[in-house]
């Protein structure tokens, strides 16, 4: 069985690869955005903690 | 229930214990998900035979059925966490419910889309307003409604309560989806796999289907735990900000 024949799926290629392709795309997008969201939250929290500890040590106007 | 078991359960209900545990579990389950999906799809595409009635289009089943299962399981899980969050005010339960919703919505969308793409060559139509398809579409709206309501209300506790309430009311839709093919005349075929009657397919098809179902479970665990971690950090940030403001006011 050749690659073209495999992709053709007996005339059902569009339906099958449309299904699997969209699902794969969505999964990759979800993983990407969830990782980015955690990374951003972690960085912002660390930044805020550093800022507040500086304020606490030096006073508000310090 | 004994006191020790209660304490054990409460231990993982706190964010500070959850976070490092999730750090260890996420790569484990993501790796498991990829491995199971690769093996499942190999069997599904290279080992399982062509269906004598449907040709190759039936191979959409290995994605469609697990996605549809997940869409319902995740909703039940979300509603369970919503109840815990509403009744016992367990913060981690609210974070879990919130973190499950987008992944549940994604699986619902995949179930609907793959169903349409499977329906076209099999029934001759992408869509029909029958009981199974309509109730699954309603499930998507319930997920989106939960997420929309949660983000629309500025006060987080009120948002959580309103969204949780919606999620719990929506649970009645899940048995309707599941039994719709039995209760009503529908174009949708009955289940190909049931605990009481076994499977109406070859063992290769069944292995591919179950491997893909486990892959979806592992994926869900990994991605939901990751999202929950992000939410914990975001809420910690808000709490830190609030505490600093009150401290500055005192000073």
Tens of pLDDT along B70-125? 999 999 999 999 999 999 999 999 999 999 999 999 999 999 999 999 999 999 99
Residues 6+ apart with CB under 8 A from A45: B233, B236, B237, B240
B191 versus B158: the higher-pLDDT residue is B158
Question: What confidence score (pLDDT) does residue B91 get?
Answer: 92
Question: What confidence score (pLDDT) does residue A61 get?
Answer: 55
Question: What confidence score (pLDDT) does residue B1 get?
Answer: 43
Question: What confidence score (pLDDT) does residue B12 get?
Answer: 54
B144 versus A57: the higher-pLDDT residue is B144
Q: Does the beta carbon of B233 lie under 8 angstroms from any beta carbon of chain A?
A: yes
Average pLDDT over residues B132-156: 97
What is the sign, positive or negative, of the torsion defined by CA atoms of B97, B103, B109, B112? negative
pLDDT in tens, A10-52: 899 999 999 999 999 999 999 999 999 999 999 999 999 998 8
B49 touches B204 (CB < 8 A): yes
Average pLDDT over residues B65-74: 98
- What residue of B is the nearest CA neighbor of A40? B230
Residues of A in contact with B37 (CB under 8 A): none
Q: How far apart are the C-alpha atoms of B67 and B72, rounded to whole Å?
A: 9
Helix B61-88 to helix B173-183 angle, to the nearest 10 degrees?
A: 140
How far off is chain A from B77, nearest CA to CA, in Å? 20
Query: Is residue A56 predicted with pLDDT exceeding 90?
Result: no
Query: Is residue B153 predicted with pLDDT exceeding 80?
Result: yes
Question: What confidence score (pLDDT) does residue B248 get?
Answer: 79
In this prediction, residue B2 has a pLDDT band, given cuts at 50, 70 and 90, of: very low
Q: Do B118 and A35 touch (CB under 8 A)?
A: no
Residues of A in contact with B103 (CB under 8 A): 30
CB A62: neighbour CB atoms within 10 A?
8
Determine the residue among B98, B226, B228, B242 to mutate to test chain A binding: the one whose Cβ has the most chain A Cβ atoms within 10 Å: B226
- Among A2-6, A54-58, B162-166, whose mean pLDDT is lowest? A54-58
Give the three-class secondary structure for B244: helix
CB B160: neighbour CB atoms within 10 A?
23
Secondary structure of B97-136 in HEC code, one letter for each residue = HHHHHHHHHHHHHHHHHHHHHHHHHHHCCCCCCCHHHHHH
Q: Does the beta carbon of B37 lie under 8 angstroms from any beta carbon of chain A?
A: no
Question: What confidence score (pLDDT) does residue B198 get?
Answer: 59
Give the three-class secondary structure for B154: coil
Which residues pair with residue B51 across a beta bridge?
Answer: B55
Nearest to B233 among A26, A27, A41 (CB): A41
pLDDT in tens, B183-203: 887 778 777 665 555 566 788
Residues of A in contact with B56 (CB under 8 A): 9-12, 16
CA atoms within 13 A on the CB side of A26: 22
Query: Is residue B250 predicted with pLDDT exceeding 80?
Result: no
B190 touches B182 (CB < 8 A): yes
Q: How far apart are the C-alpha atoms of B35 and B25, rounded to whole Å?
A: 15
Using alpha carbons, list the distances in angstroms from residue B91 to A34, A40, B16, B55, B171.
20, 22, 12, 50, 21
Domain segments of chain B: what residues? Answer: 29-185+198-250
Residues of A in contact with B67 (CB under 8 A): 23
Query: Is residue A7 predicted with pLDDT exceeding 50?
Result: yes
């Amino acid at each position: 069985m050749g690659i073209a024949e495999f992709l053709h799926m007996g005339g059902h290629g569009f339906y099958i690869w449309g299904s699997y392709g969209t699902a794969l795309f969505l999964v990759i997008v979800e993983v990407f955005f969830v990782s980015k969201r955690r990374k951003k939250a972690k960085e912002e929290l660390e930044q805020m903690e550093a800022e507040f500890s500086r304020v606490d040590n030096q006073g508000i106007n310090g | 229930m004994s006191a020790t078991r209660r304490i054990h359960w409460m231990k993982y209900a706190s964010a500070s214990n959850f976070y490092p545990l999730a750090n260890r579990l996420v790569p484990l389950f993501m790796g498991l998900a990829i491995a199971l999906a690769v093996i499942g799809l190999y069997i599904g595409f290279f080992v399982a035979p062509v269906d004598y009635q449907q040709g190759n289009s039936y191979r959409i089943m290995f994605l469609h059925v697990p996605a549809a299962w997940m869409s319902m399981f995740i909703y039940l899980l979300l509603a369970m966490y919503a109840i815990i969050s509403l009744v016992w005010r367990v913060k981690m339960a609210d974070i879990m419910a919130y973190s499950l919703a987008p992944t549940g919505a994604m699986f619902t969308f995949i179930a609907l889309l793959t169903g349409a793409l499977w329906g076209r060559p099999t029934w001759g139509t992408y869509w029909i307003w029958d009981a199974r398809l309509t109730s699954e579409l309603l499930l998507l709206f319930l997920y989106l409604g939960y997420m929309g309501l949660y983000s629309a209300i500025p006060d987080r506790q009120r948002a959580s309560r309103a969204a949780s309430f919606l999620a719990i009311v929506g649970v009645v839709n899940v048995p309707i989806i599941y039994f719709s093919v039995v209760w009503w005349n529908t174009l949708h075929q009955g289940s190909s796999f049931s605990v009481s009657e076994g499977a109406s397919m070859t063992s290769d098809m069944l292995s591919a289907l179950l491997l893909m179902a486990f892959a979806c479970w592992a994926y869900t665990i990994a991605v939901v735990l990751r999202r929950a971690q992000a939410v914990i950090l975001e809420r910690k940030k808000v709490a830190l900000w609030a505490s600093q403001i009150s401290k500055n006011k005192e000073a």
